[in-house]
Amino acid sequence: MRIAPDQASAEGVELLLTRRSAAAWNGWLSYAWARVEDREGGIETRRSWDQTHSVGIGVTWNSGPWQATAAAAWRTGWPTTPARAVQPEGTPGTILIGPRNADRFTSYSSVDLRLSRDFELSRGNLELFAEVTNAFNRRNPCCVDLAYEYQDGRLVLEQDQRHWLPLVPSLGVLWRY
């Protein structure tokens, strides 16, 4: 499907509060309200990445060569286009696609964790770290794959909802020289 808006607009406001000090504990809190829309033929439609509300919170702890961070994010679910199968009696049926981005996925949320240790070397700095993205393994919906088939003469629409990344652990080494 080709989407070619006559114009588009994006507007919003963001509030960010941070604490950055020499103390071991620091953090941040953010809130953003935003709207992203296309205008086509006089009709305004939310863009696929429109997220009306988003909140982020994080805390860091530093002690010598050690650093730990926990960050949480929540946002309004992205818009999605509804679809359904319709089959009046005696017809092969059809798939009806609703207005573009008229529905929304459920909200997105994730908690990410990171622990690192720095080592001073004669040539630079070596950092070892362990991270966990989406630590609670939340199934955040991102998109839908549509497929249809006929079962016993009835049109059936299958909607396979896909998700953002699951829990992802990672280990890393970073050498700065």
The count of structural domains within the chain is: 1
In a domain, 128, yes or no: yes
Residue 145 forms part of a structural domain: yes
Contact 27, 57 (CB under 8 A): yes
1 belongs to a structural domain: no
Other beta carbons within 10 Å of 74: 15
The string of pLDDT tens digits covering residues 57-116 is 999 999 999 999 999 999 999 999 999 999 998 888 999 999 999 999 999 999 999 999
Q: Is residue 151 part of a domain?
A: yes
Q: Kindly state whether residue 2 falls inside one of the protein's structural domains.
A: no
Residues 125 and 119: beta-carbon distance below 8 Å: yes
Distance CA 86, CA 84 (A): 7
Q: Are strands 108-121 and 66-75 parallel, antiparallel or unpaired?
A: antiparallel
Q: Is residue 123 part of a domain?
A: yes
- The residue segments making up the domain with residue 82 are 7-176
Could you give the CA distance from residue 145 to residue 164 in angstroms, rounded to a whole number? 14
Query: Around Cβ 45, how many Cβ atoms within 10 Å?
Result: 19
User: 1 pLDDT exceeds 90?
Assistant: no
Please give the radius of gyration of the chain, using alpha carbons only, rounded to the nearest integer. Answer: 23
